[in-house]
A and B are shown apart, each in its own frame.
Chain A
Amino acid sequence: MIFLCLILSSMLSAGNAEFDRTASEGAARITMGRFVRSLRLSGLPSGVLSSEMLKNPESFSSRTAAVERCNSIYLSKTAEAFSNKLENVRRTLSLGSSFEYALSEADMKSLLDKFPAAFERERREAVDQQAKNLVSATRPTEKEFEEKPTEQLKREMAERIVKAQKQAVFEENLQYISEKIVAPVLRSAEDELKRQREYLMRARSDASSPTGLKSELEERLKANVSERSRDVPAEEAWGVFPSVLKDALPKAVERRIVNKMKARMNDVKLNVDVAEVAKIISGDIASHAKYSASEKKFAFIYSCAVLTNALEATLREARESERAELEDFLLRRMGSEDVIKALEKVVRREIMPKWKVARAEIASTAAKKIWPSLDDGTWYPEAYLADEVLSRSDYIKSIRAWREIKGLESLARSSGDKKVMEESLKFADERVKAAFELARSAISAQNKTVDSTHESVLSEVKAKKAVSPVTLNEVISMITDATEKMWSKERVAKLWSDGGAPKNAAEQHVALFPSVKNRIELLARKILEEIKKEELSQAKSETEEKIEGSSDAENETMEFKISVIKTSNQVEVKLLKGESTVLDKQVELKYLPFENAMKEVSRKLGREILSLP
């Protein structure tokens, strides 16, 4: 019985141990669960992988190898962390190895998914940490810098730097070395090379001869480089580059001497004498008639003068002992592109504008002398000539070629056989054109005047017709009188409204132009037609009765023919009534004359049909 009681008691009191054990195991499970969750969220603590990489960079230099190694490290570290935590929990809660906690597949997968981001982060850390500690005192020599291609030099320098490190360099840092260490050194060399070249151009020197200047510049350059190497950090200090002494120095000497001469060119002040220019031009008018040819000749003359003056000024500034060498040097370079361009620029900018003004003056004087009537505006074309030229459809072209117009030969030959300056000819062209424009304005104004007489003359004719018959010539005469009266009043004001009337204004375009007279005739005919129409409309019915009850003689058929014969430069228009010719017109092969002719034919035909006079 006692035995049974003992068994029962041991069963009941086992709850005490179970209570503690359950709580401990539960706490352990919760703690481990939280630990796993935190691992899933944030992965391993930072620095685990980067410290491995930095401890043993040889094994991690290649990124591919690093990924592989870090993956296994990550797994083992995760397992280790888990195991350590489990051990810790067991120890803390006195659970012993009987308490087990395993990671689920989902946990494992989640932890492994954290690896890529963790690797990237820690790789970056390791690479940056290594980059900070990269040591480099590697620099190329000046000779190396100039002789080797840039890419080769970059490669070699990077290799030297890598070798100089105490440990392997991560793959990513090779680019860092190239960009952040090598490139700045090469840029510094490039800048220094450029600076030395520029220094040669601006360094002070009292020497003028090439030899003297060269040795002085070389000395100053070396002193400058030496001084600079003391003042700047070691990585920016360079010696004199070989190419500077070999190439840049001679070029600098040449440029400086030539620049000095170019500066003297800019200082040259040449006067352009009009009389002198006129003398040269008149001495060889054939060569100077064309503006461009004359400009070239004078540009050459002035260029020689400028160059001579500049050379003398440059030599004057040099020491006596240096002049011979300097002169020889400059003379050999006179024809260089650089000097020619500078010379042309000076001549074009400073001298040729003055020459241009002088030439314009000379040409103007010559033109006025040859064509005084064009100058004072007293010349004007004859009325018939103006009409003839202005009636052409291409009258502008004709005026431009005024020298070929019949009737202007004497004006064209005013200069005789001598060559005339281009500008003078242009002067004459413009004045002739202006004169023809004036004549055109006169024609137009006269035509308007003719048109304005229509109503008054119509009334006058009607009034006169009531008394006695009025002929065509009478109507023409009425219109002409009226037009001439009006024209004489308004002529000067209409032609020279700006008040610039020439001294023979009273003579110019006084008479009516032939085309205006034609217009007058047409108007007269029109007026008569209008009157006739009026009369006809009254007698229309009588005329119609007449036609209906007409005799055989009035019913006879009339046949009219219109013939148009075109030759090379003329058109012949005929109106034939039966076998007889009623109207025969020959006109130029141009649209307007032809149109006028056809109108006349139509009018005539109408009169014939209607038996009008």
Chain B
Amino acid sequence: MTQSGKKALMKIACGEKAARASVDDLQSLLLQIVFALLMIFIIAYFIFVEETKKERAEQVLDLNRQKLVLALEKTVENHRIKYGLNALMTQGTDGSRIFDASSHVHGGALSLAPAAAKAFSAGSAAAFQDYSDAEKLHESWVKEVMEAAAVGELGEEEKAWLNDAVAERIEMVRLDTRGVQRALAARLQESLIESSSSLGTIEDANALAEAIKLKSLEMIKKEIGAEVLP
């Protein structure tokens, strides 16, 4: 702002000094103010427009994503069934499915119904095989999800999101499968702990814990006749 403009503004602002401002100074100042306000509105308008465009794009994305999420959940469920997890679940009184490892272990051994035992055994073997080739597993999952979702070509961003989601779900199923196996193993550990002579004379507590874990997993493997997830 020029010195004259400052002065004019001061006049307006300070009242008694306003009498000394010239008309040109005032007009120049007003013009500048209007121009600044106009700029603000223009910028706001363009931001609004941009946001609106994004929202529309996101709405489109959300729809695809919803389809993909549903497809993912379905795939997760399929794999749970494939890995025999559902065979070990029971129906709760409120209709929910619950997994109670204690009901499947008695007297230091697995006690599964024949069908459940068969499903769990085959499922454990399948899980071990699937998870031994992570890349292949990921690809099969993506394929299955895409087929189930029936969406068209995905954008790069959507692809990236899908890969992350699939990886996350694969890991979740792995943890579920592993969790079930280990929950059963945990019940078998109790019998080992009670008769600890079978564990030898390991002095170190950590080593002892590891031995308990290994032995219980060995017992599971022996019981189901298949490898367990590492």
Contacts of B69 in A (CB 8 A): 2
Interface residues in B63-88 by Cβ distance below 8 A to A read 69, 73, 76-77, 85
Is there contact, CB below 8 Å, between B178 and A30?
Answer: no
Pick the contact of A11: B98, B199, B205, B210 (CB < 8 A).
B98
Task: Check B176–A19 contact: CB distance below 8 A.
Answer: no
Which residues of B lie under 8 Å from residue A33 when comparing CB positions?
A: 196
Q: In the complex the two chains form, is B175's CB within 8 Å of A31's CB?
A: no
CB distance from A23 to the nearest CB of B (A): 4
B residues 33-84 in Cβ contact with A at 8 Å: 69, 73, 76-77
Stretch at the interface among B2-10, B115-123, B137-145, B187-195: B187-195
B205 touches A22 (CB 8 A): no
Closest partner residue, chain A, to B210 (CB atom): A23
Q: A26's contact among B101, B184, B209, by CB below 8 Å, is which?
A: B209
The answer to the question of B146 belonging to the interface, with a C-beta cut-off of 8 Å to chain A, is no
Cβ–Cβ < 8 Å partners of B93 in chain A: none
- The chain B residue with its CB closest to the CB of A18 is B186
| Docked pose: A15 CA to B187 CA in angstroms | 10
Considering only CB atoms, which chain B residue lies closest to A85 in the complex? B205
Q: Mark B176-215, 1 if CB is under 8 A from A, else 0.
A: 1111111111100110110010010000111011111100
Q: Which of A1-46 contact B (CB under 8 A)?
A: 1-2, 4-5, 8-9, 11-16, 18-24, 26-31, 33
Question: Which residues of the other chain, B, contact A89 by a CB distance below 8 angstroms?
Answer: 205
Query: Which residues does chain B contribute within 8 Å of A14, judged by CB atoms?
Result: 179, 183
* Complex Cα–Cα for A21 and B212 (A): 11
- Contact between B199 and A12, CB atoms less than 8 A apart: no
B205 contacts A93, C-beta separation under 8 Å: yes
Q: Are A24 and B209 in contact (CB under 8 A)?
A: yes
| B182 near A12: Cβ-Cβ < 8 Å | no
A13 to B199, CA, bound (A): 27
B97 within 8 A of A: yes
A205 within 8 A of B: no
Contacting residues, chain B, for A26 (C-beta < 8 A): 189-190, 192-193, 209, 212
Q: Which of A1, A22, A27 contacts B73 (CB 8 A)?
A: A1
Q: Is the CB of B193 within 8 A of A30?
A: yes
User: A552 to nearest B CB, angstroms?
Assistant: 139
Q: Is A22's CB under 8 angstroms from B179's CB?
A: no
**Residues of A in contact with B, size category:** 20 to 34
With an 8 A cutoff between CB atoms, is B131 at the interface?
Answer: no
- The docked-state distance in angstroms from the alpha carbon of A13 to that of B101 is 12
Pick the residue among A12, A23, A93 that contacts B179 (CB under 8 A).
A12
* In the bound complex, CA of A266 to CA of B225 (Å): 118
Q: Is B176 touching A13 in the complex (CB atoms < 8 A)?
A: yes
Q: Complex: how many Å from CA A19 to CA B213?
A: 7
The chain B residue with its CB closest to the CB of A14 is B179
Contacts of A2 in B (CB 8 A): 69, 73
Interface centre among A1, A14, A22, A93 (most CB of B within 10 A): A22
A23 near B176 with CB under 8 A, answer no
Using CB atoms, name the residue of chain B closest to A32: B205
CB of B172 within 8 Å of the partner chain: yes
Given known A-B contacts A12-B85, A30-B193, A19 and B205 have beta carbons under 8 A apart: no
A5 with B193, Cβ < 8 A, contacts A19-B182, A22-B186, A30-B208 known:
no
Closest chain B residue to A2, Cβ basis:
B73
Taking the complex as formed, is B216 at the interface, i.e. its CB lies under 8 A from any CB of chain A?
yes
- Chain A CB within 10 Å — which of B97, B101, B180, B182 has the most? B182
Cβ of A92 within 8 Å of any chain B Cβ, yes or no, is yes
Q: Which residue of A lies closest to B214 (CB)?
A: A23
Distance in angstroms between the alpha carbons of A16 and B97 in the assembled complex? 19
Residues of A within 8 A of B172 (CB): 9, 13
Closest B residue to A19 using CB positions: B182
Q: Which residues of B contact A27 (CB under 8 A)?
A: 205-206, 208-209, 211-212
Given A13-B179, A33-B196, A92-B205; A23-B99 close (CB under 8 Å): no
- The answer to whether B178 and A16 touch across the interface, beta carbons within 8 angstroms, is yes
Determine whether the beta carbon of B99 is less than 8 Å from that of A11: yes
| Residues of chain A lying within 8 A (CB to CB) of residue B212 | 22-23, 26-27
Q: Is the CB of B205 within 8 A of A15?
A: no
Q: Do A23 and B76 touch (CB < 8 A)? A: no
CA–CA, A93 to B202, complex, Å?
Answer: 14
- Given A30-B208, A31-B205, A89-B205, check contact A15 B184 (CB 8 Å): yes
Bound-state CA distance A92–B208 (Å) is 11
Contact A12 B180 (CB under 8 A): yes
Q: Which among A4, A18, A30, A89 has the greatest number of chain B C-beta atoms within 10 A?
A: A30
> Can you spell out 17 A-B residue pairs with CB atoms less than 8 angstroms apart?
A9-B172, A12-B176, A15-B184, A16-B179, A18-B182, A18-B186, A19-B186, A22-B190, A23-B189, A23-B212, A27-B209, A27-B212, A28-B205, A29-B193, A30-B196, A92-B206, A93-B209
Residues in B lying within 8 Å of A, measured CB to CB: 69, 73, 76-77, 85, 96-99, 101, 172, 175-186, 189-190, 192-193, 196, 199, 204-206, 208-213, 216
**Known pairs A23-B216, A33-B196. 14 more at Cβ < 8 A?**
A11-B99, A12-B175, A13-B175, A15-B182, A15-B183, A16-B179, A18-B183, A18-B186, A19-B186, A19-B213, A28-B205, A28-B209, A30-B193, A93-B209
